[in-house]
Structures are given as structure tokens and as C-alpha cells.
Amino acid sequence: MIFSTERLYTRKLLKSDLARYHRMQNDQQVMKYVGGKTFSLEENIKDLENLIGFYNKPKNDFWVWAVVEKETDDFVGTCAIVSNKKKEEEIGYRLLKQYWGKGYGKEVTNGLIKYAFEVMKIREIVAYVDKENVSSVRILDSTFKFIKEFYNEEDNCIDRYYKLSN
């Protein structure tokens, strides 16, 4: 286990997560605000293997974990703390659609913040979100400091940029 919250825990991704991971990554609604591209089973097999491979990489700065519901032990989605292209420590999460609207996004965000600051000893974390992703905007508005909006050419959207310092 990496960290836990009231109803969730995080752990390393496993090859056995493939079916649910693929369902999440292949769902147009889930992927709508992260570039909009869904991924084939073959792409998701490679991606999952790649993410698992990062765990043993020396000086890894790309952590993506499984989010699991404590009560059922079901794979709910993923969360991450990664060093992005700008060398910022960025957090994020992605949930299977069936778990939307349960407060899990806020719960996992708070868990990520606590883990980043208390365990990883990161001094500042950032988050980016498509402004049309109203649920995630609401979560970030309540936990982070809003910095600016800008056009994200890669994803063809207006992103909101947030920071939070320890």
C-alpha cells in the first residue's frame, strides 16, 4: 500500500489490473478531458507494463498507482505524482466512470497532497485541468491556489493551472 484514505487505498499497479485499466483508458467519457484519445487493448497492455516498469527505475520521478476501494477491493482508477515536462511535481487522477459522483476524486486528491508533502517531502505540487472538467475544477479550486488559464495546444482546450506549497 502506498497511502490510504477513509474509503480508498493506493497500491502499485499490477498486470492483473489490465481489464479495468483498459476499460478506463478506452472510455471516451473518462478520456474526454485528457486529450480525448482512447487506447486499444494492445496500447493499454504496453502502457500498463511501462507504468509498472517505472517502480524499479532508479531515481524514478513518474509514479502512477492503482486506486482501490477498501470495502470491495475493486480497482477504481489511477492516481499519480509525476515530474512533468516543466520539471514540476504534478498530481492527477483518473477514475472509472462508475465511481464518479462519490467524492472519490476529492478524497484521492487530498491523499495525494498529504503523501506528496509528508512522505515524498515535495515542497510544491501543481495540477492542470481542462476548464470544462467542472468536477475536477471544483476539487482543485477547493484545495489548490489557482494561478492562470491558458490554451493547451496539445489537447486543444483551455487548461487551468494550480499550485500548492508545503
The residue extents of the domains of the chain are 8-165
Residues 6+ apart with CB under 8 A from 45: 18
pTM of the full predicted structure? Answer: 0.95
Pairing of strands 75-83, 157-165: unpaired
Neighbours of 83 (CB within 10 A): 14
pLDDT at position 155 = 85
pLDDT at 66 over 90: yes
Band (47; pLDDT cuts 50, 70, 90): very high
Of 100-104, 150-154, 158-162, minimum mean pLDDT range: 150-154
Q: Cβ distance 136 to 105 under 8 Å?
A: yes
The per-residue pLDDT for 7 is 98
Q: How confident is the model at residue 36 (pLDDT cuts 50, 70, 90)?
A: confident
Given a cut of 90, whether residue 156 has pLDDT beyond it is no
Q: Is 73 left (phi over 0), alpha (psi -120 to 50) or beta?
A: left
> Percent of the chain having pLDDT more than 90?
94
What fold characterizes domain 8-165? Aminopeptidase (3.40.630)
Dihedral over Cα of 141, 71, 65, 156: its sign: negative
- Separation CA 68–CA 109 (nearest Å): 14
CA nearest 132: which of 146, 109, 149, 113?
149
